[in-house]
Amino acid sequence: MALIDVGGQRGNPTLSDWFERWHIDSWLLSLLLILSGFGMLMLYSASGHDFGAVGAQARRLGLGFVLMIVVAQAPPEWYRSGAGWLYGGTVLMLVLVLVLGDSAKGAQRWLDLGVIRFQPSELMKLAMPLAIAAYLHQRTLPPQLGSMAVTLILIAVPTGLVMVQPDLGTSLLVVAAGGFALFFAGLRWRWIVGAVALVAAAAPLLWLRLHDYQRGRILTLFDPERDPLGAGYHITQSKIAIGSGGGFGKGWLEGTQAKLDFLPEANTDFIFAVIAEELGLIGVVLLLLIYLAIVARGLIIALRAQDTFQRLLAAALTLKFFVYVFINIGMVIGLLPVVGVPLPLVSYGGTSAVSLLVGFGMLMSIQTNRKLLAN
């Protein structure tokens, strides 16, 4: 900045000034642009050189980035005051989805608003941390029994609504988003340990409540050969793609597993397998480093945030983002059951990318407004 100032004309805004004026965090923006560009390159390969798909994805991401910057312009206080309304409205929409939602792949997830088909559960991934952070902001921390109970109810209601759609992946992320807010609010360790124990105890009950295909996926995870042509096929073919990529990969556009249709959903949930096949362990490590850099930037923003709401929101959104990455990669490499979670900003599909970028817009708002206040 200093160098630019010395050589530059007075009065002309530097790039840094420009970012500041528009409430843009240059670190996050750069990392997100690198990630999205990388994602489109891989999508081009995974879709079998389909410029149409890449173009559609570019338009969605463009919309996402614009929304991110728009969201970044509003001060964090606005989000805090609107959090309750957003939460309530989203819960209402989740109920509507169950009543009159569109069916896709045997699950009711979509709400047709005439103009766009819209997935309210996706919005809940944002509304949840907002609501929890806003609620806990008004309480003394670490949360006492009463506020903790309220928080758990706030988490449980939408989670339950998403689970009965049924959408196991999204409900996990919704729980994670809310739970992380609680965690960062300083939830006592004994409660955390107790909750884990409770979940472990409740697991058998939960097992009975699962749909057959969900159980199948979990069973198949531990033994993919159980159903090599059905549920196990995804995992088996995905592992073949990843393993055959080796250390250095087969080269961009040279993967065979996706190109020859062995790898199902190569564009969407399983695009990581394409990356691992074509770019190898080297490419995968680079991708993980980009993700971790984004997470690191998010945690730094959270750490510097100026009030409880902003801290909790920033940290919860960041951790939720990481959980996204972890669940997707974990399922593609056969560590976790196959649940429908995309690889953030890389998988083909608009809703999750837009909602993630809106979240990053909030992070930018938190970061840039702190600077203004500090100044």
Partner 1 sequence: MPRRESLKNLQREKNLFAGRIVVGAIICVLMSGGLLFRLSELQIQGHDYYTTRANDNRLRVVPVPPVRGLIYDRSGVVLAENRPAFGLEITPEQVDDMPALLAQIGGLVPLTESDIQRFNDRVARTPRYRGVPLRTHLSMEEVALLEVNRHDLRGAEVTAGLTRNYPMSIEGAHVVGYVGGITEADLQRIDTDSYQGLGQIGKAGLERFYEDRLRGTPGARIIEANAFGRPLREIEHRPGQAGQNLHLTLDAEVQAVAQAALGELNGAVVAIDPRSGEIIALVSKPGYEPHHFVEGIDAASYRTLLEDRNRPLFNRALQGQYPPGSTIKPAMAVAGLEHTVVDPEHREFCPGSMQLPGSIRQFRCWRRRGHGWMDMVSGVMQSCDIYFYQLALNLGIDLMHDSMQQFGLGNVTGIDLPLESAGLMPSRAWKRRTRGESWYPGETLIVGIGQGYTLATPLQMAHMTARLAMRGEGFPPHLLRETVDPVTQQRVTLSPAALPPITLRNPEHWSAVIQAMVDTAHKPGGTALRIGQNAPYLIAAKTGTAQVASLSQEDKVARTLEDTPVRLRDHALLVAFAPADNPQIAVAVLAEHAGSGSAVAAPVARKVMDQYLLGEVQYESPPPVIAPYTGELRNASGVVP
Task: Give min distance, CB of 329 to partner 1, in A.
Answer: 5
Closest to partner 1 by CB, 103 vs 140, is 140
Task: Give min distance, CB of 321 to partner 1, in A.
Answer: 10
Residues 6+ apart with CB under 8 A from 182: 132, 136, 143, 148, 151, 152, 155
Which DSSP string do the residues of 208-235 spell out, in sequence order?
HHS-HHHHHHHHHHH-GGGSTTTHHHHH
Nearest to 249 by CA among 219, 270, 273: 273
Task: Supply the angle between the helices 120-137 and 168-184 in degrees, to the nearest 10.
Answer: 10
Task: Give min distance, CB of 263 to partner 1, in A.
Answer: 8
Closest to partner 1 by CB, 217 vs 311, is 311
Closest to partner 1 by CB, 202 vs 289, is 289
What are the phi and psi torsion angles at 336 (to 5°)? -125, 160
| Residue 134 interacts with partner 1 (CB under 8 A): yes or no | no
Q: Which strand ranges, in their side-by-side order, compose the sheet holding 107-112? A: 102-104, 107-112, 117-118
Rounded distance, CA 22 to CA 298, Å?
18
Residue among 180, 309, 324, 348 that touches partner 1 (CB under 8 A): 180
| Residue 37 interacts with partner 1 (CB under 8 A): yes or no | no
Closest to partner 1 by CB, 91 vs 329, is 329
Residues 6+ apart with CB under 8 A from 103: none
| Residue 173 interacts with partner 1 (CB under 8 A): yes or no | no
Closest to partner 1 by CB, 183 vs 213, is 183
Fill in the per-residue mask, 300 to 339: x = in contact with partner 1 (CB under 8 A), - = not in contact: --xx----x--x---x--xx--x---x--xx--xxx----
Residue among 89, 142, 166, 340 that touches partner 1 (CB under 8 A): 142
| Residue 1 interacts with partner 1 (CB under 8 A): yes or no | no
| Residue 243 interacts with partner 1 (CB under 8 A): yes or no | yes
| Residue 266 interacts with partner 1 (CB under 8 A): yes or no | no
Rg from Cα positions in the chain: 21
Judged by CB under 8 A, the number of residues near partner 1 is 48
What are 64's two structure tokens?
Answer: 């996402």
Task: Give min distance, CB of 229 to partner 1, in A.
Answer: 11
Residue among 239, 253, 286, 349 that touches partner 1 (CB under 8 A): 239
- Site residues for partner 1, 271-300, by CB under 8 A, read 276, 280-281, 284-285, 288, 291-292, 295-296, 299
Residue among 6, 113, 153, 260 that touches partner 1 (CB under 8 A): 260
Nearest to 130 by CA among 179, 181, 166: 181
Question: Cβ of 68: how many Cβ atoms within 10 Å?
Answer: 24
| Residue 213 interacts with partner 1 (CB under 8 A): yes or no | no
| Residue 74 interacts with partner 1 (CB under 8 A): yes or no | no
| Integer CA distances (angstroms), 319 to 5, 130, 180, in order | 37, 14, 7
Rounded distance, CA 133 to CA 310, Å?
8
| Residue 244 interacts with partner 1 (CB under 8 A): yes or no | yes
Collapsed DSSP state (helix, strand, coil) of residue 332: helix
Task: Give min distance, CB of 88 to partner 1, in A.
Answer: 27
What are 113's two structure tokens?
Answer: 């608003």
Count, residues in the chain: 375
Which DSSP string do the residues of 108-138 spell out, in sequence order?
EEEEE-SSSEE-HHHHHHHHHHHHHHHHHHT
| Residue 251 interacts with partner 1 (CB under 8 A): yes or no | no
Closest to partner 1 by CB, 152 vs 240, is 240
Residues β-bridged to residue 110: 102
| Residue 252 interacts with partner 1 (CB under 8 A): yes or no | no
Task: Give min distance, CB of 42 to partner 1, in A.
Answer: 16
Residues of the shown chain interacting with partner 1 in the complex, contacts defined by CB under 8 A: 140-142, 180, 183-186, 237, 239-247, 256-257, 260-262, 276, 280-281, 284-285, 288, 291-292, 295-296, 299, 302-303, 308, 311, 315, 318-319, 322, 326, 329-330, 333-335
